[in-house]
Chains A and B, each alone.
Chain A
Amino acid sequence: MKRDLISTATGLLALTLLLGILFPLAITGVSQIAFPGNANGQQIVRGGQLVGSKIIGQSFQQPVVRNGKVQLDKNGNPVTVPDTRYFQTRPSGTVPADNAAGSSFANYGPNSVVTEQALAANVKSYLALERPYDPRLTVAVLPVDAIDTSASGIDPDISPANATIQAHRIAAVRHLSLARVHTLINAATHGRGLDFSGESGVNVLELNLALDRLSGGR
Chain B
Amino acid sequence: MTVAGWITIIFFLVALTALALALGRYMAAVYTSGHTWLDPVMRGPERLLYKVMRVDPTRGQDWKAYARSVIIFSLGGWLLLYFILRTQTLWSFTGLNPAGFHSGTWAVSFNTVSSFVTNTNWQYYGGETTMSYFSQMAGLTVQNFVSAAVGMVVAVAVIRGIVGRSGKSLGNFYSDLVRTVLWILLPGSILIALLLVSQGVLANLSGYLTAHGITGLTQHIGMGPVASQEAIKELGTNGGGFYNVNSAHPFENPDGFTNLLEMLSVLVIPAGLVFTYGRMAQSRRQGYAIYATMMVMFLGAVIVAYIAEAHGSPAQHAAGLHTGVINGSTGGNLEGKEQRFGIAGSALFDVITTVTSCGAVNSAIESFTGIGGAVAFANLSASEVIFGGVGTGLYSILLYVLLAVFIGGLMVGRTPEYLGKKIEAREIKLVVLGLLITPLAALFATALATASRAGRASISTVATGPQQFSETFYAYLSQANNNGSALAGYTGYIQPNAGNLGAHGVVFADVTGGLVMLFARFAPILFALAVAGSLAGKRVSPRGLGTMRTDNPTFVILLIGIIILVGALTFFPALLLGPLVQGLTGHLY
B321 touches A109 (CB 8 A): no
Residues of A within 8 A of B225 (CB): 24-25, 27-28
| Chain A 142-178 interface residues, beta-carbon cutoff 8 Å to B | 142-145, 147-162, 164
B217 touches A61 (CB 8 A): yes
A144 touches B142 (CB 8 A): no
Of A115, A141, A158, A160, most buried by chain B (CB within 10 Å of CB) is A115
Residues of B within 8 A of A123 (CB): 319-321
B369 touches A59 (CB 8 A): no
| Chain B 319-373 interface residues, beta-carbon cutoff 8 Å to A | 319-323, 326-342, 345-346, 361-364, 366-370, 372-373
In the bound assembly, the distance between CA atoms of A24 and B190 in angstroms comes to 9
In the bound assembly, the distance between CA atoms of A140 and B268 in angstroms comes to 42
A104 touches B223 (CB 8 A): no
A199 touches B211 (CB 8 A): no
A23 touches B189 (CB 8 A): yes
Q: Which of B249-257, B298-306, B556-564 contacts A (4 or more CB under 8 A)?
A: B249-257
User: Known contacts being A16-B138, A143-B326, A199-B342, is A119 close to B316, with CB within 8 Å?
Assistant: yes
Residues of B within 8 A of A209 (CB): 214
Interface size class of B (residues with CB under 8 A): 35 or more
B319 touches A107 (CB 8 A): no
In the bound assembly, the distance between CA atoms of A139 and B243 in angstroms comes to 34
Q: Which of B17-25, B106-114, B193-201 contacts A (4 or more CB under 8 A)?
A: B193-201
The interface bits of chain A over 98-132 (1 if a CB of B lies within 8 angstroms of the residue's CB, else 0) are 11111111111111111110011001000000000
Q: Which of B273-281, B422-430, B460-468 contacts A (4 or more CB under 8 A)?
A: B460-468
Closest partner residue, chain A, to B372 (CB atom): A110
Is A50 among interface residues, defined by CB-CB distance under 8 A?
yes
Residues of B within 8 A of A154 (CB): 249-250
Residues of A within 8 A of B181 (CB): 15, 18-19
Residues of B within 8 A of A147 (CB): 316, 319, 321
Residues of B within 8 A of A148 (CB): 316, 333-337
B335 touches A108 (CB 8 A): yes
Residues of B within 8 A of A110 (CB): 313-315, 333, 335, 367-370, 372-373, 582
Q: How far is the CB of B402 from chain A (nearest CB, A)?
A: 29
In the bound assembly, the distance between CA atoms of A3 and B59 in angstroms comes to 12
User: Known contacts being A38-B199, A151-B338, is A164 close to B328, with CB within 8 Å?
Assistant: yes
| Chain A 19-57 interface residues, beta-carbon cutoff 8 Å to B | 19-21, 23-28, 30-32, 34-35, 38-43, 46, 49-53, 55-57
The interface bits of chain A over 177-218 (1 if a CB of B lies within 8 angstroms of the residue's CB, else 0) are 000000000000010111111111100000011001000000
B213 touches A59 (CB 8 A): yes
User: Known contacts being A32-B203, A41-B251, A198-B256, is A141 close to B364, with CB within 8 Å?
Assistant: no
A149 touches B329 (CB 8 A): no
A112 touches B464 (CB 8 A): yes
Q: How far is the CB of A126 from chain B (nearest CB, A)?
A: 11
In the bound assembly, the distance between CA atoms of A141 and B321 in angstroms comes to 8
In the bound assembly, the distance between CA atoms of A161 and B416 in angstroms comes to 61
The listed residue (B80, B214, B243) touching A51 by CB distance below 8 A is: B214
B373 touches A9 (CB 8 A): no
A interface list, Cβ under 8 A from B: 1, 3-12, 14-16, 18-21, 23-28, 30-32, 34-35, 38-43, 46, 49-53, 55-63, 78, 80, 83, 86, 90, 93, 98-116, 119-120, 123, 139-145, 147-162, 164, 190, 192-201, 208-209, 212
Interchain Cβ contacts under 8 Å between A and B, 5 examples: A15-B145, A20-B137, A40-B204, A108-B335, A114-B462
B interface list, Cβ under 8 A from A: 4, 7-8, 11, 45, 49, 52-55, 68-69, 72-73, 75-77, 80, 126, 128-129, 137-139, 141-142, 145-146, 174, 177-178, 181, 186, 189-190, 193-194, 197-206, 208-217, 219-223, 225, 227-229, 231, 243-245, 248-251, 254-260, 312-316, 318-323, 326-342, 345-346, 361-364, 366-370, 372-373, 460, 462-467, 470, 487-489, 498, 582, 585-589
**Given A31-B204, A194-B260, 8 further pairs, Cβ under 8 A:** A7-B53, A11-B52, A31-B203, A38-B200, A38-B201, A119-B335, A148-B334, A152-B248
